[in-house]
Amino acid sequence: MLKVYGTKICPDCIACEASFKKYGIGYEFVNIFATMPDFKEFLRLRDASPAFAHAKEQGSVGIPACVKEDGEIFTDWEGFLKDQGLEPIWPEAADQAKAEIAAQCDLRQHNC
């Protein structure tokens, strides 16, 4: 079973979770903002793994981050699905979260 680190306010995390549910992919979702131990667990993973190098270079958080049972970490959840012949979905809730983030960025008058 996969372990997916993410948040309930991240558009990609919302889409990842909806896609995994649609296709019956077993996963445990760890909401990194739910508790401080969950957040620290994700930070330890992010700090130690080269799988997050690209995200760090782009200034991204690196979520959703998926960990396979063998410990392999990947952040390309869409590629993971496509490799299995499955098409990722983008639900309306993900669009809504994306719009909310854009609005918050506009309120702060800088590009997020």
The CATH number given to whatever domain includes residue 44 is 3.40.30.10
pTM of the model: 0.86
- List pLDDT tens digits, range 7-55: 999 999 999 999 999 999 999 999 999 999 999 999 999 999 999 999 9
| The three-state (H, E, C) secondary structure of the chain, written as one string | CEEEEECCCCHHHHHHHHHHHHCCCCEEEEECCCCHHHHHHHHHHHHHCHHHHHHHHHCCCCCCEEECCCCCEECCHHHHHHHCCCCCCCCHHHHHHHHHHHHHHHHCCCCC
Q: Is 111 domain-assigned? A: no
Structural domain including 9 reads 1-106
Q: Is 69 domain-assigned? A: yes
- List pLDDT tens digits, range 48-92: 999 999 999 999 999 999 999 999 999 999 999 999 999 998 888
Structural domains of the chain, count: 1
Q: Is 40 domain-assigned? A: yes
